[in-house]
Amino acid sequence: MYDRRCNICGHIVEDLLEPINSPDLPCDQDLCDGLQLRCWLPGSANGVVDDSIPGGLYIKNALCNPDGTPKRYDSHSDIKRAAEAGGWTNAVEHIPANKGTDKSPHTTRWVGLPQGLDPVAEAERLAHWHAHEASLK
């Protein structure tokens, strides 16, 4: 989406859907011989990002319901709030152990459970989750 403004009369046309290599256009105002040049107008729809998730998103781990069933989230900000409240991060944070190196003991081995997680409790949670998944089929 692009905006255009006439270089002579200042007439503005907002939110044109056109190829990136479109030439300058003649002004569509009567008695104006100017050209409509591409410009970026503040407040136009170009930078608007919708926060909602159409149809919702069911999250099956970490941010699920306390009983292990998937929980529905209808916006990205709802997911972010739930993650912050639970102390979760929605990405791997690579924080090196020492300055001058990019090595971290937390992001070098990707098998097994995270540190501090009870293997028995995690096995029970996964079994409950798999049983729930099977009941949906």
Give per-residue pLDDT as tens, 71-127.
999 999 999 999 889 888 766 666 677 777 777 666 665 556 566 677 788 888 889
pLDDT at 99: 75
| Average pLDDT over every residue of 55-65 | 89
Q: Yes or no: say if 41 and 15 are a contact pair by the CB < 8 Å rule.
A: no
Q: Which of 50, 36, 43, 41 minimizes the C-alpha distance to 8? A: 36
Check whether 130 has a pLDDT greater than 70: yes
pLDDT at 81: 92
* C-alpha–C-alpha distance, residues 117 and 89, integer Å: 16
> What pTM did the predictor assign?
0.38
Give the pair of three-digit tokens for residue 13: 């046309």
